[in-house]
Chain A
C-alpha cells in the first residue's frame, strides 16, 4: 500500500514537472475512491503474457491524462496524453508482460481537468498469467444479418500484435457463402471450411494443400455441417442437419434457427468415405455438435428427441451425450447421456472439451440448438469427473456463445454480443485447472473504440497455433476444381 502511494506521488510529481504545462503554484489533488471508468473494460483481468497492448479510453473528464504502469510498486513506464485515448507502445508493453509473468500489475491513472485540479484514482489491477494463449485467433467477419450475405471473409488475427489478415474471402469465389471453419484443436495445420453456392464444397487444408470435397453423397439426406476433427487428423465428425431459419415478430429475439432433423456422420479422410455414427438409427433423436475427447476415443454430442411435424420450438432441449469410438475399427459403442439439461428446461450446444479432458465447456440457452441469437445464452463448464455443471464468470447479460480452447487449455475465446446486443466480438478469458474462468476481456485493438463503430460481427472465433497462409490464387484454383466426391459407407459395404 505504502509502495503504491509513494509511486503515485512520485508519478504525480514527475508528470506534472515535465509532462505538462502546469502553471499554478498550488496543486490541489483529489483522491478518488474508485477506479476510473475505462473502455473497453480492462480491469480485474487475468491476461496472457503474449497479448497485444490493451489500449483503452478513459471515460473521465480531463485535459491531461497521466498513466503509470507498475509491478510491485516499480513503475515500468508512464504515458501522458492530452486526449483520453491511451495507446500503449508495443515495446514497453512487452517488457511489462515479460517482467510480470505470474504477477499483478497496476495501472495508475491521474487526471488533470481544465481548471488544473488533479484527481488520483484507485489503481486498476490486472494479473499476467504464466500460461500463454495461442498466437492466433481465426474468425469470420460478417454482418450479423439474417440470410443474405455479400462479402464474407475468414480472418486470422495475431494475438501478440494487432495484425490481422484475410485468410479466405468469398469475393474471389463468386461471392459464395463461406461458413463453419475448424482447426484440428488449433495445434496442427489441419483446417477446413465450407463454401456454399456455385463453388460449393468442403475445403480441407493439410500440409499446405487445399482440396475441395463434396461430403454429400446421395445417400446422405442432409449436407455435412458442424465439423470436429479427430485428434489423429484422419477423421472428421460432422453433424448432418436440416436447418430452418425463422424470424421473430417481436424484438427480444431476432432469428430462430433450428434443426428439423440432424444426425452424426464420420468422414474418413484416408478412404474418402463418409459413414453414419449410429448405424441403423431409428431417427428418434436429433444429434448435433460433435466433439472428440483429446484421446480420440470418445465422441461427445448434443441430442434432443426428434421433433414431429407440429412442435413448439421452445420445447426443444438438447442434452449432452457421449459415445465411445474405436479409431482402428471405425466403430462406435453405446451412447450414454452425461448431462440432462432438459430437466432444467435448458438446452446445450457447442460442447468443447478442455485439452486435459477434464471439462466440457458448453453454451446453455433456454431452448434450441442455435443460441447465437439467444440473449440468455451463457457459457458453462461441465466437470466430467464430478458430473457437475457450473456457470462461468466470463458471462454477461447478453449472448455469450461459440467458445474455443487454447491449445494449453488455459484460455477460452468466445463470441459475445455484450457490446451493443447486436454484433458479436471475440472475448478472451482465463480458464483454470479447477474449471473456473476469469473475467472476460475484449480482443485488444489499435484504436480501442474501433470495434464500437464497426458494424460487422466477428463470429466463430477459434484459437490456433498455426498461421494460415493461403494466397487468393490458391483458393481460386481449389474452388475451380471439381470436388472430390465422398463415398457413402454402410454396414452392407463391408
Chain B
C-alpha cells in the first residue's frame, strides 16, 4: 500500500516535473537576467482606472485583452511580480495545450505544448514583446479547452463577432484551433461548421472595417498583437501561431527516432526533459541581452532620482549608449559634478550626450524633456512630455513630468487633471497624493526640494525655444539670468563650450564661476584654464577666493611630459595619455 502510494506520488511528481523545471528556469531567468523587460514595459504604459482608459480599450477589437494586459502589466512595477506573471502565463498555456491534446486525442503529448512554451519564452525575452501577446494565446487556449469540453454545438460560431471584439486578432487563433479540431473530429461531419466559421469571420472583419471601426483592415486583423523588434521574432510568432492552430491535427502523430521503433517511455521522458532544459538554456543564452538590461537599469535609477547610484553604475559598467550617457550627464548636473566628471564618460562632440534635438523618435522623445527640466526650461520640458503622451499614450514618468511642470508654472487646474489620473493608478497613487498637497499652494512649491529649485531657475524674459539647437536655448536662458540663479544651465553651457573646444567661450564665462556659487573651480574648467595659459598664452583673471589647484597644474605638466616623451607624436602618446588622462579635458582636446 505504502509502495503504491509512493509510486503514485512519484508518478505525479514525474508528471509535473517538466512543468516545475520549466517554471523554475523561466522564472529565475526573468528574475535575475531579464528583469529589464518588466522595467521597460511598466514604464512604457500606464493602467488607469478611468472611463477614458476603458473607452480607449473599447474603441477597437481586442478590448478585453488590452484592458487585462494593461492591468496585469501595472504589476510589473515590481519586476519579481512581472517575472511571476510572465512565467505563469507561459506555463498555463503549456498546461492548456497539453489538455487540449489529451481531449482531442485521448493521449498525452508533451512535445507540442513544451515546444510552444519554449517559443513563447523565447519571444518574451525581448523587452518589446508585450504581455498581451502571450496573454492572448493563453486566453484562446482556455477558451478552446472549454469549447471542446462543453460547447460542441454552434455556440462558438455564433459568438464569433463578440469573441473577435473582445480578443481582436487573437480570436483568429481560437478559430484556427477550433477549425482544426472540427477537421480532426470529422471533416465531412463538420464541413458546415467550418464553412460557417470562415464566412462569419470574413463578414465580421468586413462589417467592422466598413461600418464600425475606424481602422485599416490590417490593423483590424492583427490588433492587439504587437510585433517584436526583429523580423525573426515575427516569423517565430507566426510559427507559434501555426503550431498552436494545427495542434489538434499534429498531436495524433507519434514521434519515432528509428524506423519502426517507438521510443520507450522512460527514455523518451528523460530525453524530453534533457531536450527541454537544453532548449531553455539555448534560448536563454541566445536571448540574454546584457546591453538592454544595463540600459533599463540605468534608466530606472535615473527615474528613481538615484543620481549618485546612476553615476556609480555607469562607472562600474561603462557604456557608449547615447541615452544612458545623456541621463548620466543630467545626474552629474543635478549633483553638481557635470564639469568635474564630464570626461570620465564618453561624450559626443556634437552635444548629443548633453541634449537632444527635437525628434518624434520614441526613446529620444521620451527622455528629451529631462534636459530642459534640469536646466529650468519648464515649458519646453512640459512640451516634450506632452508630445510623447500624445504620440504614445500615458506613461508614469511622462505624467509625473507633466504634473511637476504644471505645478511649477502654477497651472494648478491642469496639474489637478493629471494628478487625478495618477491617483487612479495602482502603484502611483501615493506619489499623486504627495503632488496633490502642492496644488494651489505657491509657498509649498517654493519650499519643495525639487520643484522649488526649478521654479527659481525660470528665465525672466520670454524667448522662442529653438528645438534644433538646444545649446542656443541655454545661451538665451543665461542671457536673462542676471541674478545668476540658474547654475544648472550654466554648467550645461560650460560643458557644451568644452565639447566645442571653445576657449573663447570658456574665457568669457570664467568670471561667473563664483557668481554661480562655486566654492571650488570645477576640475574640467581648471583644466581648460591651464591649457589656455600654455597653449594660447591666455591668462584668466583671478577670481576672489578661488584658485586653480596645484594638483591640476602638476597633472598638466605630467601630461605634457608624456606627450613630449613620445616625440610629440599624438598617435604614439595616445595609449599612455589615455591611461592616466583619459578623463581630462586635455585628452578630449587632443583626441576627440
Does A pair with B?
Answer: yes
Using a CB–CB distance below 8 Å, which chain A residues touch chain B? 143, 145-150, 153, 166, 169, 171-172, 174, 246-254, 256, 419-422, 450, 452-455, 471-473, 475-476
- Report Cα–Cα, A480/B455, bound state, in Å: 50
Q: A453–B420 contact, CB under 8 A? A: yes
Is B409 at the interface (CB under 8 A from chain A)?
A: yes
Q: Which residues of chain B come closer than 8 Å to A421, judged between CB atoms?
A: 411, 413-414
- Report Cα–Cα, A421/B477, bound state, in Å: 25
Q: B477–A249 contact, CB under 8 A? A: yes
Considering the complex, give the chain A residue whose CB is closest to the CB of B216.
A172
Determine how close the nearest CB of chain A comes to the CB of B231; give it in whole angstroms: 21
Determine how close the nearest CB of chain A comes to the CB of B309; give it in whole angstroms: 32
- Report Cα–Cα, A471/B207, bound state, in Å: 11
Mask: chain B, 36-69; 1 = CB below 8 Å from A; 0 = not: 0000000000000011100000001000000000
Q: A473–B214 contact, CB under 8 A? A: no
- Report Cα–Cα, A246/B467, bound state, in Å: 9
Supply 15 further A-B pairs (C-beta < 8 A) apart from A171-B219, A249-B380, A476-B209.
A146-B386, A148-B390, A171-B215, A171-B216, A172-B215, A246-B465, A249-B476, A250-B462, A251-B378, A251-B379, A251-B409, A472-B213, A472-B214, A476-B210, A476-B216
Considering the complex, give the chain A residue whose CB is closest to the CB of B409.
A251
Report the interface size for chain B: residues with CB under 8 A from the other chain. Answer: 46
Is B459 at the interface (CB under 8 A from chain A)?
A: yes
- Report Cα–Cα, A146/B389, bound state, in Å: 12
Q: B459–A249 contact, CB under 8 A? A: yes
Using a CB–CB distance below 8 Å, which chain B residues touch chain A? 50-52, 60, 209-216, 219, 360, 377-380, 383, 386-387, 389-392, 409-411, 413-414, 416-418, 420-421, 458-459, 461-465, 467, 473, 476-477
- Report Cα–Cα, A172/B391, bound state, in Å: 16
Considering the complex, give the chain B residue whose CB is closest to the CB of A153.
B214
Considering the complex, give the chain B residue whose CB is closest to the CB of A166.
B214
Q: B210–A473 contact, CB under 8 A? A: yes
Q: Which residues of chain B come closer than 8 Å to A473, judged between CB atoms?
A: 209-211
- Report Cα–Cα, A171/B411, bound state, in Å: 32
Query: Taking A250-B458, A473-B209 as contacts, is the C-beta distance between A420 and B417 under 8 angstroms?
Result: yes
Query: Taking A453-B417, A473-B209 as contacts, is the C-beta distance between A247 and B379 under 8 angstroms?
Result: yes
Determine how close the nearest CB of chain B comes to the CB of A341; give it in whole angstroms: 23
Q: B214–A453 contact, CB under 8 A? A: no
Q: Which residues of chain B come closer than 8 Å to A452, judged between CB atoms?
A: 417
Q: A148–B387 contact, CB under 8 A? A: yes
**Pairs across A and B, CB under 8 Å, 21 listed:** A145-B390, A147-B387, A148-B387, A148-B391, A150-B392, A169-B214, A174-B216, A247-B464, A248-B379, A249-B464, A249-B465, A252-B462, A253-B462, A421-B414, A422-B414, A422-B417, A452-B417, A453-B417, A471-B211, A472-B211, A473-B210
- Report Cα–Cα, A450/B390, bound state, in Å: 20
Considering the complex, give the chain B residue whose CB is closest to the CB of A256.
B464
Across the A-B interface, give the 7 residue pairs with the lowest CB-CB distance, nearest first: A169-B214, A473-B210, A420-B413, A250-B462, A246-B464, A251-B409, A148-B387
Determine how close the nearest CB of chain B comes to the CB of A474; give it in whole angstroms: 9
- Report Cα–Cα, A247/B382, bound state, in Å: 11
Q: B214–A172 contact, CB under 8 A? A: yes
Considering the complex, give the chain B residue whose CB is closest to the CB of A472.
B214
- Report Cα–Cα, A146/B464, bound state, in Å: 14
Q: A422–B387 contact, CB under 8 A? A: no
Considering the complex, give the chain A residue whose CB is closest to the CB of B459.
A249
Q: Which residues of chain B come closer than 8 Å to A249, judged between CB atoms?
A: 377, 379-380, 459, 462-465, 473, 476-477
Q: Which residues of chain A come closer than 8 Å to B409, judged between CB atoms?
A: 251
Considering the complex, give the chain A residue whose CB is closest to the CB of B394.
A455
- Report Cα–Cα, A308/B77, bound state, in Å: 54
- Report Cα–Cα, A472/B211, bound state, in Å: 6
Determine how close the nearest CB of chain A comes to the CB of B62; give it in whole angstroms: 13
Q: Which residues of chain B come closer than 8 Å to A471, judged between CB atoms?
A: 210-211
- Report Cα–Cα, A233/B411, bound state, in Å: 44
Q: Which residues of chain A come closer than 8 Å to B416, judged between CB atoms?
A: 420
Q: A171–B214 contact, CB under 8 A? A: yes
Which of B60, B379, B391, B421 lies at the interface centre, i.e. has the most chain A CB atoms within 10 A of its CB? B379
Q: Which residues of chain A come closer than 8 Å to B390, judged between CB atoms?
A: 143, 145, 148-150
Which of A148, A166, A171, A471 lies at the interface centre, i.e. has the most chain B CB atoms within 10 A of its CB? A148
Determine how close the nearest CB of chain B comes to the CB of A171; give it in whole angstroms: 5
Q: B459–A250 contact, CB under 8 A? A: yes
Q: Which residues of chain A come closer than 8 Å to B213, judged between CB atoms?
A: 472
Q: Which residues of chain A come closer than 8 Å to B477, judged between CB atoms?
A: 249
- Report Cα–Cα, A172/B209, bound state, in Å: 9
Q: Which residues of chain A come closer than 8 Å to B387, judged between CB atoms?
A: 145-148
- Report Cα–Cα, A68/B219, bound state, in Å: 51
Determine how close the nearest CB of chain A comes to the CB of B52; give it in whole angstroms: 7
Q: Which residues of chain A come closer than 8 Å to B377, judged between CB atoms?
A: 249
Within 8 Å by CB of A454, from B52, B60, B465, lies B52
Considering the complex, give the chain B residue whose CB is closest to the CB of A250.
B462
- Report Cα–Cα, A247/B377, bound state, in Å: 11
Considering the complex, give the chain B residue whose CB is closest to the CB of A255.
B383
Q: Which residues of chain A come closer than 8 Å to B214, judged between CB atoms?
A: 153, 166, 169, 171-172, 472, 475
Determine how close the nearest CB of chain A comes to the CB of B168; give it in whole angstroms: 14
- Report Cα–Cα, A452/B476, bound state, in Å: 36
Determine how close the nearest CB of chain B comes to the CB of A40; give it in whole angstroms: 14
- Report Cα–Cα, A148/B393, bound state, in Å: 12
Determine how close the nearest CB of chain A comes to the CB of B74; give it in whole angstroms: 20
- Report Cα–Cα, A48/B438, bound state, in Å: 41
Determine how close the nearest CB of chain A comes to the CB of B236; give it in whole angstroms: 27
Q: A150–B391 contact, CB under 8 A? A: yes
Q: Which residues of chain B come closer than 8 Å to A256, judged between CB atoms?
A: 464
Within 8 Å by CB of B360, from A148, A422, A454, lies A148
Q: Which residues of chain B come closer than 8 Å to A153, judged between CB atoms?
A: 214
Q: Which residues of chain A come closer than 8 Å to B392, judged between CB atoms?
A: 150
- Report Cα–Cα, A430/B464, bound state, in Å: 39
Q: B414–A420 contact, CB under 8 A? A: yes
Determine how close the nearest CB of chain B comes to the CB of A212; give it in whole angstroms: 17
Within 8 Å by CB of B465, from A147, A148, A247, A472, lies A247
Considering the complex, give the chain B residue whose CB is closest to the CB of A170.
B214
Q: Which residues of chain B come closer than 8 Å to A453, judged between CB atoms?
A: 50, 52, 417, 420-421
Query: Taking A147-B387, A148-B391 as contacts, is the C-beta distance between A251 and B459 under 8 angstroms?
Result: no
Determine how close the nearest CB of chain A comes to the CB of B488; give it in whole angstroms: 15
- Report Cα–Cα, A246/B465, bound state, in Å: 7
